[in-house]
Structure 1
Amino acid sequence: MRTAIVLTLPLLLIAPAIGNDDPPITREAVCRRVETPPVLDGKLDDPAWKAAEADEINRFSAFWVGEARGEGTRSWLVWDDDALYFAATMTDAELRAFGTERNDRLWLGDVFELFFKPSEDDPRYYEFQVNPRSVILELPFPRRGYSFEELAALPPLGFEAVAVVDGTLDQPGDTDRSWSVEGRIPWSLFEATGGRPSVGDSWRFALCRYDYGPEGTEPLLMSSAPLSQPSFHRYEDYGLLLFKGPND
């Protein structure tokens, strides 16, 4: 198995300098190893998420315009021998979704997105999305700019997720509250870039959202990463995800 990115340089040498006026973002986060994987039901009440409580990722912004946008967005990442797991809960007053089939253009509605780039030297990276209907998107990019249509036509790769809404989905005029999601990404999906990491490895990553408001308004885009441009595919700006053991 090929070794993933290992952090060997001070963070300031691989990430832009932090300014006093920068909006909150996540330059480094922890993915904690767990003994028991979460049950994918969208309820976020599993011991795995309790074990990762101190590793919460809750700093999101539109860094490219210097605007904080992540209040009410909380997320976690854990792992075991079989898969990487994620959970998120997001406040949302206008719950909207687009797409009913796997690999639809889910970003035309509310969506939670995850991007992972295991290797600095390999152009391959991965994009995953879930919308409030529990519809998923899974795209293993051989390189940036690769055909969306070709990737969307690939057979299922094993990614799965469940979303739960607190409100009324796709009913304008009322006030909704939030939605949450749990997901599982098997290490087999990352086989082309080395598969499962080891304790101490690190990957580039970004967690992102499209948050749509009332009809006719532009969606709010936000990311955990300090993106210098409004593109979630700009992996040069991603933060570092550190894979740690249960007691590290």
Structure 2
Amino acid sequence: MQMRYTCRYVDEINLVKWEEMEVGYLRDVVSADVPTLETRFRACWTADSLHIQYECEDGHVVANMTQRDEPLYEEDVVEVFLDPFGGGTTYFEFEVSPRGVLFDALIHNKLDGNMEVDTSWIAEGFQATVAERPDGSRVYEVRIPFADLDDAGVPQSGTVWHWNVFRIDDDRDGVRHYSAWSPTGKVNFHVPQQFRELVFSKG
């Protein structure tokens, strides 16, 4: 399945018009069906960072953790995996909870069901804000500096990375809902074979 997201360049993030950025929608991670609660995302880039906005319908929040790199994925969370190198064996994982708590890790995936998650790796400039709207939905805005991504380098117009975007949400009955931009076919986000193209563009 050919999927790509065109990530547009902006001069200043504080002047970005998010509604003009390409929108992507998350689907059920297993079935690819439309989920009960909608999750939209948009992305853009500046000279030094990748920026992602999530808009999440939400009627019930589970977010009790308060410390960076706690297992946020056990509660409500939005996530992005970035693979600037290709191949899916080394990539970066970023998570944000509804409370604005951060999780970042360097992943070494052997593509055989085994992987190492290095939470000692820290993206120093990784930042996020979370705002609740009157209807209960939440808007996450995430900044990931290119300088924090080890040897990935700064993209140029036309650079292609691989990535996937995710969300985990608990409902009032305690049922966990897993969604992805590129569904993996299983309740497992760490399927690099399903990563799709993130195309940086100045066009």
Whether the TM-score (by the shorter chain) exceeds 0.5 is: yes
User: Which of 157, 164, 174 is the aligned partner of 1:206?
Assistant: 164
1:1-248, aligned counterparts within 5 Å? Answer: 15=1, 27-38=3-14, 47-50=15-18, 53-57=20-24, 59-69=25-35, 72-121=38-87, 123-143=89-109, 145-148=114-117, 151-155=118-122, 157-166=124-133, 177-192=136-151, 194-215=152-173, 217-245=174-202, 248=203
- Number of residue pairs aligned between Structure 1 and Structure 2: 200
Residues 59-100 of structure 1 show CA distances to partners (whole Å, capped at 9, x for unaligned) of: 211252242217532211111111111111111011221310
Task: Give the TM-score normalised by the residue count of structure 1.
Answer: 0.73
Residues 2-25 of structure 1 show CA distances to partners (whole Å, capped at 9, x for unaligned) of: xxxxxxxxxxxxx37xxxxxxxxx
> Closer, same or farther in 2 for the Cα pair 1:198/1:161, shift >3 Å?
same
Contact kept in structure 1, 2:126 and 2:144, CA below 8 Å? yes
Q: Distance in 1 between matches of 2:140 and 2:175?
A: 23
Q: Distance in 1 between matches of 2:123 and 2:82?
A: 18
Cα RMSD of the aligned pairs, angstroms, is: 2.1
Residues 25-83 of structure 1 show CA distances to partners (whole Å, capped at 9, x for unaligned) of: xx211111101123xxxxxxxx3134x624111x2112522422175322111111111
- The corresponding residue for 1:9 is none
Which sections of structure 2, spanning at least 5 residues, go unmatched? none
Q: Distance in 1 between matches of 2:191 and 2:183?
A: 10
Which sections of structure 1, spanning at least 5 residues, go unmatched? 1-14, 17-26, 39-46, 168-175
Structure 1 counterpart of 2:11, one-letter code:
E
Q: Distance in 2 between matches of 1:139 and 1:157?
A: 12
SS of 2:30's partner is helix
- The corresponding residue for 1:4 is none
Q: CA shift at 1:155, angstroms?
A: 4.7
Structure 2 counterpart of 1:187, one-letter code:
F
Larger % of strand: which? 2
Structure 1 counterpart of 2:60, one-letter code:
E
Q: Distance in 2 between matches of 1:107 and 1:121?
A: 24
- The corresponding residue for 1:19 is none
SS of 2:140's partner is strand
Task: Give the TM-score normalised by the residue count of structure 2.
Answer: 0.88
Overall identity of the aligned pairs, in %: 23
SS of 1:64's partner is coil
Q: Distance in 1 between matches of 2:91 and 2:177?
A: 24
Larger % of helix: which? 1
